[in-house]
Structure 1
Amino acid sequence: MSDKFDSFRCKTGFSSPPCYAAEVAPEYFDPLAVDPAQTRDVARWRKAERKRLRGERDRMPVADRQSAGAALIDHLRQVLRHRFGGMQGMVFSAYWPIKGEPDLRPLMSELHKAGVTIALPLVETRAAPLTFRRWTPDMTMVRGDWSIPVPPPDAPELTPDIVLAPLVGWSADAYRLGYGGGYFDRTLAALKPRPFVIGVGFDAARLRTIYPQPHDMPLDLILTEAGNKTE
């Protein structure tokens, strides 16, 4: 580790803490100047933040979570209508809620009834981009990775035009803190053309920054129960 970091410490105890990185080392965000020690520090910081934010989310009262989900659905309706009109002929990728995530399944059913093709992401190959398969309200789901309900293997594979990305944490510059597997970043890097990606999560999960690394892919929009957070 460079001597220029030796005098800096923060509550995390990291040798080159992310909370000082931007101030003391602007090249921290230069993909050509990545320090492996800094990368490890960011990874440890993110792991701690995931644990903290998920704990706060788990403690959220059920009524508050349901109210936030309903508000998010309203905001999504407005965004989709304004940006994409009726969405006929488009593929909309949602997600099946787990671990206290906002439940947007009512919107999935609503869009399906309106003639929009709905897809769900699933892990079919470890450490590879996600696969998207068609979902309908009457289909029999199967258990996928991490026991998440997913469409069956014979459901048609699709390429989404719009993707919802659930957020553990988020920053106003449209970066997402996820669960740490890197699947969404790999997927966005691989999809051609790239879909319009909307991060959805709770307003309380805002972070000043996630300390973006070269592999991190910014989203197009972030929505919480309080509305658009990237305008």
Structure 2
Amino acid sequence: MGKGDDDLNDYASPACLLHEVDPAYSGLTPPSRNVGQNLPEPSLMEWRRSERARMIAARLAMSARTRNALARRIAGHLDALIGDPAGVLVSGYWPFRGEPDLRDWFRDLRERRGLAALPVVVERGKPLLFRLWRKGERLERGVWNIPVPAAGEPVFPRIVIAPLVGFDAQGYRLGYGGGFFDRTLAALPSSTIAVGVGYEMAEMPTIHPHGFDIPMRHIVTENGIRSHGGKRDRERPFDAGPISP
């Protein structure tokens, strides 16, 4: 397409969050038993579909000005969580259907010598891969018309930031139902830090997690940071050293 990252202004969902896709599409077979409260699988799928619709409608009902103000507060909490980003590789996303728009924060992160990446769909049933997202480098429309880096070798983010539709007190994230994100987290190094971002109003008593759902290490909303790791993670979630696959 011959365009840099500043030219792709259309909103698109990150590749791991495909709206209303059955988990089986991504190669994840739902288990017969759910963690927490035990709901029959058809009832659970319908409940999640209904909750997604409700949460998305609520955030879209906010004005763009309000969403932008909340996104700036979320960005400030991410700064507090990460600290000096120099040399730290962080995977981001493109905002979709009222998600917090953190693109300015990611550009600022790069200016502070942080490294940014975007997820890329490989194929059905496979984990996502990540490519560096550098200023001025060309993006292209990937699978499902999602902006992705046009070229580059796979990289392994130390921090993966994922927008959420809902979340609960255990750190489980309600996404769009595709299952790509959980499969990706399961394939990444154990040192990877998963951070869910969303609005405070997205909190739920429980998402009724599947056995394959992976909780976030941290949930960040406009009201602050909720950590679900050990004491060391709450003080600083990672060190800035290099990681390997």
Alignment of 1:42-57 (within 5 A): 42-57=44-59
Contact residue 173 and residue 230 of structure 1 kept, 8 A: no
Q: Which has the larger radius of gyration?
A: 1
Counterpart for residue 35 of structure 2: 29
Matched, 1:157 2:145: no
Give distance in 2, aligned partners of 1:40 and 1:200.
28
Report the 3-state secondary structure (helix = DSSP H, G, I; strand = E; otherwise coil) of the residue aligned with 1:229: strand
Matched, 1:202 2:199: yes
Report the 3-state secondary structure (helix = DSSP H, G, I; strand = E; otherwise coil) of the residue aligned with 1:216: coil
Contact residue 98 and residue 148 of structure 1 kept, 8 A: no
Report the 3-state secondary structure (helix = DSSP H, G, I; strand = E; otherwise coil) of the residue aligned with 2:214: coil
1:147 is aligned, of 145, 148, 155, to 145
Give distance in 2, aligned partners of 1:200 and 1:112.
19
Residue type of the alignment partner of 1:201: G
| Deviation for aligned residue 1:157 | 1.6
Which one has the bigger helix percentage?
1
Give distance in 2, aligned partners of 1:129 and 1:116.
24
| Deviation for aligned residue 1:226 | 1.0
| Deviation for aligned residue 1:194 | 4.2
Give distance in 1, aligned partners of 2:142 and 2:92.
16
Report the 3-state secondary structure (helix = DSSP H, G, I; strand = E; otherwise coil) of the residue aligned with 2:40: helix
Q: Please give the root-mean-square deviation of Cα atoms over the aligned residues, in Å.
A: 1.9
Counterpart for residue 120 of structure 2: 122
Post-superposition Cα deviations, 1:133-164, rounded to whole Å, max 9, x if no partner, equal 10012122111233221111x22321110110
Give distance in 2, aligned partners of 1:68 and 1:211.
27
Contact residue 34 and residue 211 of structure 2 kept, 8 A: no
Give distance in 1, aligned partners of 2:61 and 2:55.
10
Counterpart for residue 6 of structure 1: none
* Higher relative contact order structure (alpha carbons within 8 Å, sequence separation ≥ 6): 2
Give distance in 2, aligned partners of 1:80 and 1:92.
10
Counterpart for residue 5 of structure 1: none
| Deviation for aligned residue 1:230 | 4.2
Counterpart for residue 173 of structure 2: 176
Matched, 1:214 2:211: yes
Identity of aligned residues (%): 39
| Deviation for aligned residue 1:70 | 0.5
Question: What is the aligned length?
Answer: 196
**Structure 1: tracts of 5 or more residues without a match:** 1-26
Using structure 2 for the length normalisation, give the TM-score: 0.75
Give distance in 1, aligned partners of 2:125 and 2:143.
12
Give distance in 1, aligned partners of 2:60 and 2:209.
26
**Structure 2: tracts of 5 or more residues without a match:** 1-32, 229-245
Post-superposition Cα deviations, 1:76-111, rounded to whole Å, max 9, x if no partner, equal 001111xxxx33332111111122110111111111
